[in-house]
Amino acid sequence: MQKICLLGATGSIGSSTLDVIAQYPEQFQLMSVAANTNVDRMAEICQRFKPERAVMGSQQARDALAQRCLGLPTEFEWGHEAMESIASDDCDQVMAAIIGFAGLRPTLAAIRAGKRVLLANKESLVTAGRLFMDEVARYNVTLMPIDSEHNAIFQCLPQTDAGVSKQDVSSILLTASGGPFRTFSARQMASVTPAQACAHPNWSMGQKISVDSASLMNKGLELIEACWLFDVTPANVQVVVHPESIIHSMVSYKDGSVIAQMGNPDMKIPIAYGMTWPTRIDTGVEPLDFYRLAQLNFEAPDLQRFPNLRLAGDAWYAGGTAMAILNAANEVAVDAFLKEKISFLDIARLNERVLEQSDTKVVNDLEAVFIADHEARVLANQLIASEFV
Ligand code: NAD
Ligand code: MG
């Protein structure tokens, strides 16, 4: 029996994780859950799974949840200390599926408690980078990538008892769907709405990552994520646009072989793989029907129309706090776009301005990352208020 702590339980990854847990009640037990504000969904989860502890983002949300769940054995709590506490409490695996930088502290708490970490929250790795990976090594933690591309790369790399190696690997091919605006001109993209940006052609996801997919910032974050996870640089990673999202990424070997991981686009596959590695379970996802698939297409990404991907590579090479700065600017920009305060093209413009106007510092401790995140948010909000465009 594996005991699971689920951070970000009310989100898209949270729901897929609960589906896997519900399918295998003799193998997985939901010990604890965390979410920000969605009391209705959290009440359903608590009633169904009866976790020992449930944590909300605010006292108000906690009180509302406790009121909705009278009679349950669950302990109801709130705030980031409680989230860090459940991530290091009695459990074997922690699913890190909070969205954004807010996921960093609890994910680090899980690492420091030696849990198996199922990493969906890419922003925590992107922002804390070297520090994050150093803690993984220090606490000898099994870090399972849940992002479908990184999970695919993990599956395509040579496997060892400890994880994966890079023996005889020449490069990583990171696939990208290209998002809903893949074929749009810059002019067409200038007037797209949040609803259009959130309507992803292949994946059903939370709003923030959907906008990131549309702006290719998601691929930029994933480029950095791949560099940290697999100890490579952007020069070793080629982004390949593949609109069908059937190949989830590939590894190219020095003898000319390319190994790809394929499957229908359903996050239950990487989630279940992360939870059961090195074995596999039936996820209920339909296998691929190659007669129906018929065609897979590939193209190069267009960095002119999608500058975020270039900015991510720049931030990696700038090093230090640059990745935390870019991530923070992007979180502010996406939020402003969703609230219709800035246009879609302003997202990349704002990201570029904030990167240009911030000093990149060396990261010696976590404090440096939090300061960089905070200062970049302040600057991004000032630029939006002054109509920076
Ligand atoms: P979502 O918006 O659907 O859900 C986010 C979850 O985080 C919710 O449960 C919310 O309550 C919680 N949350 C938000 N702010 C919080 C805070 N301050 N404190 C505590 N909890 C907070 O997001 P999602 O699509 O499930 O994505 C989650 C993470 O997984 C992201 O980092 C995303 O990049 C990554 N990811 C998602 C997918 C996908 O298919 N959705 C695929 C790959 C990677
Ligand atoms: Mg992904």
DSSP notation for 252-312: EETTS-EEEEE--S-THHHHHHHHHTTS-----PPPP-HHHH-----B---TTT-HHHHHH
How far CA 261 is from CA of 162, 175, 232, 288, in Å, comes to 20, 11, 20, 12
Decide: 19 and 268 in contact? Cβ < 8 Å. yes
Amino acid 93: pLDDT: 98
Q: Which of 144, 29, 50 is nearest to 97 (CA)?
A: 144
Chain-wide mean pLDDT for the chain?
97
Q: Is 170 exposed, middle or buried (0-12, 13-18, 19+ CB in 10 A)?
A: middle
Tally DSSP H helices, then E strands, for the chain: 17, 13
What is the amino acid identity at position 223? L
**Per-residue model confidence as pLDDT tens digits over 166-192:** 999 999 999 999 999 999 999 999 999
Amino acid 131: pLDDT: 98
- How far apart are the CA of 181 and the centre of ligand 1, in A? 22
Amino acid 19: pLDDT: 98
Judged against a pLDDT cut of 80, whether residue 389 lies above it is answered with no
163 is in an annotated binding site: no
Between β-strands 93-96 and 247-253, what pairing exists: parallel, antiparallel or unpaired? unpaired
**Per-residue model confidence as pLDDT tens digits over 58-102:** 999 999 999 999 999 999 999 999 999 999 999 999 999 999 999
Q: Residue ranges of the domains in the chain? A: 2-141, 319-389
- How far apart are the CA of 120 and the centre of ligand 1, in A? 8
Round to whole Å and give the CA distance between 296 and 1: 40
Work out the average pLDDT over 207-223. 97
Mean pLDDT is lowest, of 38-47, 57-66, 154-163, 353-362, for 154-163
Round to whole Å and give the CA distance between 63 and 42: 12
Mean pLDDT is lowest, of 195-199, 301-305, 384-388, for 384-388
Residue ID of nearest Cα to ligand 1 atom 30 = 120
CATH fold label, 319-389: Rna Polymerase Sigma Factor; Chain: A (1.10.1740)
16 is in an annotated binding site: no
Round to whole Å and give the CA distance between 169 and 283: 30
Work out the average pLDDT over 152-156. 98
Residue 255's contacts (CB-CB under 8 Å, 6 or more residues apart) are 168
Round to whole Å and give the CA distance between 368 and 17: 33
Asked if the interface predicted TM-score (ipTM) of this complex is over 0.85, the answer is yes
**Per-residue model confidence as pLDDT tens digits over 20-34:** 999 999 999 999 999
State the closest ligand 1 atom to the C-alpha of 218, by its place in the atom list counted from 1: 34
State the closest ligand 1 atom to the C-alpha of 120, by its place in the atom list counted from 1: 30
- How far apart are the CA of 175 and the centre of ligand 2, in A? 9
Residue 15's contacts (CB-CB under 8 Å, 6 or more residues apart) are none
State the closest ligand 1 atom to the C-alpha of 36, by its place in the atom list counted from 1: 11
Amino acid 202: pLDDT: 86
Residue ID of nearest Cα to ligand 1 atom 40 = 205
- Binned at pLDDT 50, 70 and 90, residue 160 comes out as confident
- Binned at pLDDT 50, 70 and 90, residue 161 comes out as confident
Round to whole Å and give the CA distance between 244 and 23: 28
What class, spelled out in words, does domain 2-141 have in CATH? alpha beta
Q: Which of 204, 275, 211 is nearest to 4 (CA)?
A: 275
206 is in an annotated binding site: yes
**Per-residue model confidence as pLDDT tens digits over 46-62:** 999 999 999 999 999 99
Report helix angle 104-112 to 80-88, nearest 10: 30
- Binned at pLDDT 50, 70 and 90, residue 388 comes out as confident
How far CA 258 is from CA of 164, 172, 249, 261, 289, in Å, comes to 16, 9, 10, 10, 21
12 is in an annotated binding site: yes
Q: How far apart are the first and last CA of the chain?
A: 55
148 is in an annotated binding site: yes
Report helix angle 322-338 to 207-215, nearest 10: 110
Work out the average pLDDT over 319-335. 98
Decide: 339 and 325 in contact? Cβ < 8 Å. no
Which residues are near ligand 1 (CB < 6 Å)?
Answer: 8-14, 34-36, 38, 57, 97-99, 102, 120-123, 147, 203, 205-206, 208-209, 267
Judged against a pLDDT cut of 80, whether residue 159 lies above it is answered with yes
- How far apart are the CA of 176 and the centre of ligand 2, in A? 8
3-class DSSP assignment, residue 14: helix
Amino acid 377: pLDDT: 98
Work out the average pLDDT over 101-126. 98
State the closest ligand 1 atom to the C-alpha of 212, by its place in the atom list counted from 1: 34
Amino acid 288: pLDDT: 97
